Amino acid sequence: MTDFTATKAMFHLPEGVVYLDGNSLGPLPRAASHRMQQVIEDEWGEMLITGWNRAGWMEAPLRVGDRIGRLIGAEPGQVVMGDTLSIKVYQALAAALALRPDRRVILSDSGNFPSDLYMAEGLIRALGQGHELRVVAPGEVAAQITDEVAVLMLTEVDYRTGRLHDMAALTKAAHAAGALTVWDLAHSAGAVPVNLADAGADFAVGCTYKFLNGGPGAPAFIYVAPRHADAVQPALSGWLGHAAPFDFEPRYRAGAGVARMRVGTPPVLALAALDAALDVWEGVAMADLRARSQSLSERFISAVEAACPDLTLASPRDPECRGSQVSFRFAEGYAATQALIARGVIGDFRAPDIMRFGITPLYLDEGDIDRAAQTLAEILNGRIWDDPAYRTRAAVT
Amino acid sequence: MTDFTATKAMFHLPEGVVYLDGNSLGPLPRAASHRMQQVIEDEWGEMLITGWNRAGWMEAPLRVGDRIGRLIGAEPGQVVMGDTLSIKVYQALAAALALRPDRRVILSDSGNFPSDLYMAEGLIRALGQGHELRVVAPGEVAAQITDEVAVLMLTEVDYRTGRLHDMAALTKAAHAAGALTVWDLAHSAGAVPVNLADAGADFAVGCTYKFLNGGPGAPAFIYVAPRHADAVQPALSGWLGHAAPFDFEPRYRAGAGVARMRVGTPPVLALAALDAALDVWEGVAMADLRARSQSLSERFISAVEAACPDLTLASPRDPECRGSQVSFRFAEGYAATQALIARGVIGDFRAPDIMRFGITPLYLDEGDIDRAAQTLAEILNGRIWDDPAYRTRAAVT
């Protein structure tokens, strides 16, 4: 049984704060600060250039990738770290399209994160081969998987509503139609059980600064199914994906397996913070995490619905169809979120009317959930959101 | 007059080490460790998600880009940070090619860093329009700038020999032939005076972990000349290059100016270390740095040539034609470099026979240069490199 009191103690949380925005940026794992000081002072400071070998910097993207792999049902050697999620989407999509040269449709949905759609747009323009990005409603995806589709590109958990796609069923349907899949796990990795191997996923990508708590702008990851890993020709063919980077050959030769998805010099400092953050997961069973996430989410929904009749649940009511967040619709959601933050309950807002709350059992307990629901009720029922101080929009909340 | 005693005191250098590999990885600026602790504990730890606004994380890529801009002759708002140098090469080259749709040749040279050539290969394959990567000897570049050339893509300072291209003259020749230029400043920024505006450069890119001392895997930068900045359609069209990232629009709209070259979430922690490293430059005049770099280089070449007849200068003899490194050819260069490192003089080796020495006045003085030359002479003249302990090859030195 996972000890969630122990995991909570591994995080620094500011005094008096209930943090329900771990689906956007995870809080600081206490170990990250010390580990960063070590990598800066003992490694960079003392080893200088020799740190690439002596401190294992060069292999860190694969070593840390294996740690992520354990959380998403991948074997060692199938996940590598680097760049940002947007770059990894580009790499995965380019690789998948090249494996289906006779098809022209990328199928996605309107619940996908915009950057994934933007990167697809850019890739389509670069390729200049008349590919079409077909964006349908989330509920229409299954019906739209036709034999025109080259790649089904979806984010498993909707960043606004928390709606969870059935990865295994949709991957099976894609394969039956001759299509490949690219799964974005931004709101899945560390949030819900993921088993890429069992689902038969072809490519998967994700960020590590949300439920994996790697820090602001932490490096992204990419998974390539072993059946494709030696077949794909990288579009972003950088020297660290080369078979022999330090031979400095004039022509590109792709390295073996997922290592060919490396591009440039690895972000050593950021990887150190992420590596420390991943220590939290050592004693965590994903089934326990999922059960507790659902239990805390149900508790939050019940309390909010009982006390706040003006809010409408935007997330699926069935816990099995939700990721690890709960969203409500409220026309004055922006101001209400600001008022909540002013009272130490940090959630966030997504236009036009979504109030989002990340439910993260690693560091949230029943007391936090109850305080959040109670504070939300005070703001709604006291019309505190109507205070002009909370209605001025900033660029980011 | 720049106070180089003061700049040297701003770095941590291990006891007993003479560090001549700052052209590969700069040493630790003392301020970086404390600044990183601040960003981790006071910003990430205490501000959590609100750090994006309150701590200025979101604008950091432009703010830090402006600081780099001052070192390379760019105005504020023309440089932005992010990703790795390989990714920035891809962005710049894709943008430049799109501005010359009727031409098919990318001209580069064999002194370019391999990753730049690899990224061009990958882009050419993605575009599928029959572009040709034409790689000539460095001395042949000027003669090969014909009206077939869409883009002249060069690294200003050769990573092996330190040979310095004449950026202004080659850019002028490229423009006269109707071509655009992409300059890689990996070994220029912080090493030699660069004036992108005066040279008329179209695009420039660079890394920040060499002469700028930003730490292992520090973020890269990209410069776009203002005359192109609102014209280029980004190939890597990520959400943070969007005109309104937080409107989450379904379609991509490029942001204004160089900000459209942003892709994904900025690497906040790595940017903090780099930002601290850039403080060192506040009192440095680039002309002073160049004069001292040349003086220290001449001193090193004279001492080594006097004492080590087996070494052949691989760098241009004319200081005006060199960057801020000195290279020698020696058949047993690998072993000799290992023997040097074992004696606390850190240089590096590039196959097949180049021994490289970065000359970095920010933290090297005459005493360091003399000790390095003397140690090298001992190794050469005592045939210490012949010890089997120094002849076993590791992947990276």
Indicate whether B44 and B101 sit together in one domain: yes
Name the B residues in 154-183 with CB < 8 Å from any A CB. Answer: none
In this prediction, residue A341 carries a pLDDT of 96
Q: Is residue B146 predicted with pLDDT exceeding 80?
A: yes
Q: Residue B211 falls within a domain, yes or no?
A: yes
Indicate whether A96 and A192 sit together in one domain: yes
Counting other chains too, the contacts that B308-311 makes at CB distance below 8 Å and 24 or more residues apart are B308/B376, B308/B377, B308/B380, B308/B381, B310/B380, B311/B355, B311/B376, B311/B380
In this prediction, residue B267 carries a pLDDT of 98
B122 to A12: CB separation less than 8 angstroms, yes or no: no
Indicate whether B204 and B129 sit together in one domain: yes
Looking at CA atoms only, how far is residue B142 from chain A in angstroms? 21
Q: What pLDDT, in 10s, does the model give residues B123-134?
A: 999 999 999 999
Catalytic, A288? Answer no
Residue B315 structural domain:
285-390
CB nearest to A14's CB, from B28, B46, B117: B46
For A379, the enclosing helix (H) or strand (E) is helix A366-381
Domain with A65 in it: what CATH number? 3.40.640.10
In this prediction, residue A395 carries a pLDDT of 41
In this prediction, residue A47 carries a pLDDT of 97
- Structure tokens belonging to residue B147: 């009206």
B33 to A40: CB separation less than 8 angstroms, yes or no: yes
CA gap B93, B384 in Å, rounded: 46
**Alpha-helical runs (H) found in B201-355:** 226-229, 268-278, 286-307, 333-342
Chain A CB within 8 Å of residue B286 CB: no
Indicate whether A174 and A300 sit together in one domain: no
Q: Is B374 helix (H, G, I), strand (E, B) or coil?
A: helix
Indicate whether A272 and A299 sit together in one domain: no
Cis peptide upstream of residue B226 (ω within 30 degrees of 0): no
B264 to A135: CB separation less than 8 angstroms, yes or no: no
Q: Is A162 helix (H, G, I), strand (E, B) or coil?
A: coil
Task: Write phi, then psi, for B155 (nearest 5 degrees).
Answer: -90, 125
CA gap A387, A258 in Å, rounded: 53
Q: Is residue B304 predicted with pLDDT exceeding 70?
A: yes
Q: Residue A231 falls within a domain, yes or no?
A: yes
Q: Which residues of A touch B64 (CB under 8 A)?
A: none
Indicate whether B312 and B209 sit together in one domain: no
CA gap B371, A63 in Å, rounded: 39
**In the listed set A228, A257, A282, which residue is the last one of a domain according to the structure?**
A282
Indicate whether B68 and B145 sit together in one domain: yes
Amino acid letter for position A113: F
CA gap A52, A142 in Å, rounded: 46
Looking at CA atoms only, how far is residue A200 from chain B in angstroms? 27
Q: Residue A26 falls within a domain, yes or no?
A: no
Closest chain A residue by Cα to residue B218: A267
Tokens 């360091």 belong to residue:
B368
B238 to A118: CB separation less than 8 angstroms, yes or no: yes
CA gap A296, A370 in Å, rounded: 9
Looking at CA atoms only, how far is residue A126 from chain B in angstroms? 6
Q: Residue B319 falls within a domain, yes or no?
A: yes
In this prediction, residue A397 carries a pLDDT of 41
Q: Residue B261 falls within a domain, yes or no?
A: yes
- Structure tokens belonging to residue B210: 């060499």
Chain A CB within 8 Å of residue B331 CB: no
Q: How confident is the model at residue B392 (pLDDT cuts 50, 70, 90)?
A: confident
Looking at CA atoms only, how far is residue B273 from chain A in angstroms? 9
CA gap B242, B233 in Å, rounded: 11
Let me know: does A13 contact A286? Beta carbons within 8 Å: no
Closest chain A residue by Cα to residue B396: A53
**In the listed set A282, A303, A323, which residue is the last one of a domain according to the structure?**
A282
Q: How confident is the model at residue B216 (pLDDT cuts 50, 70, 90)?
A: very high
Name the A residues in 291-320 with CB < 8 Å from any B CB. Answer: none
pTM: predicted TM-score of the whole model, two decimal places = 0.97
Tell me the C-alpha to C-alpha distance, in Å, between residue A374 and each of A161, A300, A337, A368, B69. 22, 10, 14, 10, 50
Indicate whether B226 and B297 sit together in one domain: no
Q: How many CB atoms lie within 10 A of CB A302?
A: 11
Indicate whether A275 and A307 sit together in one domain: no
Q: Residue B184 falls within a domain, yes or no?
A: yes
Indicate whether A116 and A141 sit together in one domain: yes
Q: How many CB atoms lie within 10 A of CB A292?
A: 20
Q: Is A328 helix (H, G, I), strand (E, B) or coil?
A: strand
Q: Is residue B397 predicted with pLDDT exceeding 50?
A: no
The sheet with strand A325-329 has its strands ordered as A312-313, A325-329, A354-358, A348-350
Q: Domain total for chain B?
A: 2
CA gap A63, B18 in Å, rounded: 32
Catalytic, A184? Answer yes
- Structure tokens belonging to residue B48: 């959590």
In this prediction, residue B394 carries a pLDDT of 57
User: Angle at the Cα of B125 (from A239 to B241), degrees rounded to 5?
Assistant: 75
Interface test with A, best of B212, B269, B340 (most A CBs within 10 A): B269
Domain with B329 in it: what CATH number? 3.90.1150.10
How far is Cα of residue B4 from the mean position of the Cα atoms in its chain? 21
Chain B CB within 8 Å of residue A110 CB: yes
- pLDDT per residue as tens, chain A (397 positions): 999 999 999 999 999 999 999 999 999 999 999 999 999 999 999 999 999 999 999 999 999 999 999 999 999 999 999 999 999 999 999 999 999 999 999 999 999 999 999 999 999 999 999 999 999 999 999 999 999 999 999 999 999 999 999 999 999 999 999 999 999 999 999 999 999 999 999 999 999 999 999 999 999 999 999 999 999 999 999 999 999 999 999 999 999 999 999 999 999 999 999 999 999 999 999 999 999 999 999 999 999 999 999 999 999 999 999 999 999 999 999 999 999 999 999 999 998 999 999 999 999 999 999 999 999 999 999 999 999 999 876 544 4
Catalytic, A210? Answer yes
Q: How confident is the model at residue B189 (pLDDT cuts 50, 70, 90)?
A: very high
Indicate whether A79 and A58 sit together in one domain: yes
**In the listed set A282, A317, A352, which residue is the last one of a domain according to the structure?**
A282
Indicate whether B333 and B251 sit together in one domain: no
Query: Which positions of B are annotated as active-site residues?
Result: 113, 184, 209-210, 356
Interface test with B, best of A44, A52, A89, A275 (most B CBs within 10 A): A44
Q: Residue B26 falls within a domain, yes or no?
A: no
Cis peptide upstream of residue A352 (ω within 30 degrees of 0): yes
Q: Residue A2 falls within a domain, yes or no?
A: no
Q: What pLDDT, in 10s, does the model give residues B31-82?
A: 999 999 999 999 999 999 999 999 999 999 999 999 999 999 999 999 999 9
User: Angle at the Cα of A351 (from A345 to A357), degrees rounded to 5?
Assistant: 30
Q: How many CB atoms lie within 10 A of CB A188?
A: 25
In this prediction, residue B391 carries a pLDDT of 86
* Residue ranges of E strands in chain B: 11-12, 18-19, 28-29, 79-81, 105-109, 132-136, 149-155, 180-184, 203-206, 221-224, 312-313, 325-329, 345-346, 348-350, 354-358
